[in-house]
């Protein structure tokens, strides 16, 4: 069902990426909160629209870096996320849809979460970020903690 919804039509994938530096540790290294949303329209107050009322996200946006001009490499969510998480274009990752796992065809590139993990950061994954290779085994290579559901 997700694949059909995600891949349906020629909908524009909007990526909202917020980087929030919370505080510095004793080593001077910042804590980083990296939030990725796809298939998300800018309809919250932080984007000047009143349709969605989300006070916690609006507050986070007021204290964060909000990117108002986000672009995507591919019209589908999986190839687009893989592109920005590997810094490789879809023609390099050979991922054109959501049915294949990019490491099998493109190689073993270091992803953004892997890079942070390899440099001493604790990384966590909530929900999906890579698919269909979105198993706990493949996700464990990039994140210390995996959470498949978020309780409100």
Q: Which residues are catalytic?
A: 77, 131
CA distances from 145 to 36, 51, 135, 136, 141 (A): 17, 34, 13, 10, 10
> How far, in Å, CA of 4 to CA of 57, rounded?
27
Q: How many CB atoms neighbour CB 90 within 10 A?
A: 21
CA 15 to chain centre: 8
> How far, in Å, CA of 95 to CA of 140, rounded?
21
> How far, in Å, CA of 38 to CA of 12, rounded?
9
> How far, in Å, CA of 48 to CA of 45, rounded?
5
């Amino acid at each position: 069902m997700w694949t059909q919804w995600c891949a349906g039509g020629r909908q524009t994938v909007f990526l909202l990426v917020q980087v929030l530096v919370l505080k510095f540790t004793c080593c001077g290294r910042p804590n980083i909160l990296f939030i990725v949303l796809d298939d998300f329209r800018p309809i919250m107050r932080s984007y000047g629209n009143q349709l969605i009322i989300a006070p916690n996200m609006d507050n986070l946006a007021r204290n964060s870096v909000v990117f108002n001009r986000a672009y995507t490499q591919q019209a589908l969510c999986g190839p687009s996320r893989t592109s920005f998480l590997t810094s490789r274009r879809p023609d390099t990752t050979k991922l054109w849809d959501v049915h294949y796992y990019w490491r099998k065809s493109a190689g073993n590139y270091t992803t953004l979460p892997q890079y942070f993990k390899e440099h001493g950061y604790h990384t966590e994954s909530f929900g999906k970020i890579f698919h269909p290779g979105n198993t706990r085994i493949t996700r464990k290579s990039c994140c210390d903690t995996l959470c498949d559901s978020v309780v409100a």
